Amino acid sequence: MAILNRTLFFILVFEFLLFFQELKIASAFGTNPNFLLIFSLVLIFTRERFLVIAATLFAVFLIATILIPFWFWPITIFLALMLIADLLKNFLTGKEIIDFLIAISLGTILFYFLINISELKLLSIGSLLKEIMYNLVLGIVAWFLFQKYGFKQRGAFL
């Protein structure tokens, strides 16, 4: 039952972040951070159970493609990148925070590279670098907040 509760809670968080991201509330200097990427990688690199991550991402995929059908390819690419990140996390440096920051950087680059290829667009290096920096800053904040108030320590939240 705990796995189901965690999965449902994470689905709600993801859907909230998807909504928050679509509203572009946190845009700065014309750059909108990728909250879904950051939150997914926080879960992956803080050793959340694979079953919870996979179930959450699959549910987000279903909900997003039903409610926002034009997001099918971006969500599919996003899910593939998150599964690859989960598989490769043990083959990086071994320092969780460094691995997390590497994953944010590479995840941002690969996500936008693959999205732009699928939509036959040119990739703006300047905007990509701004988003990588923004994602790294927000990722560090999310990492430390999750470490302090997260789900594994002191039984917080769920």
- 37 burial level (CB within 10 Å; 0-12, 13-18, 19+): buried
pLDDT above 60 for 155 = no
Q: Are 37 and 104 in contact (CB under 8 A)?
A: yes
Per-residue pLDDT tens digits for 86-131? 888 888 888 888 999 999 999 999 988 888 876 667 777 888 888 8
The Cα–Cα gap between 102 and 106 comes to 6
User: CA torsion angle for 39, 100, 74, 54 (degrees, to 10)?
Assistant: -60
| Model confidence band, residue 145 (pLDDT cutoffs 50, 70, 90) | confident
Phi-psi region of 154 (alpha: psi -120 to 50; beta: other; left: phi over 0): left
The Cα–Cα gap between 5 and 3 comes to 5
Give the residues across from 31 on adjacent strands: 28
**DSSP H helices in the chain:** 2-23, 35-45, 50-67, 72-88, 96-118, 125-149
Q: pTM value?
A: 0.80
Per-residue pLDDT tens digits for 6-50? 888 888 888 788 778 777 777 777 777 788 888 889 888 887 777
Tokens of 26: 């946190």
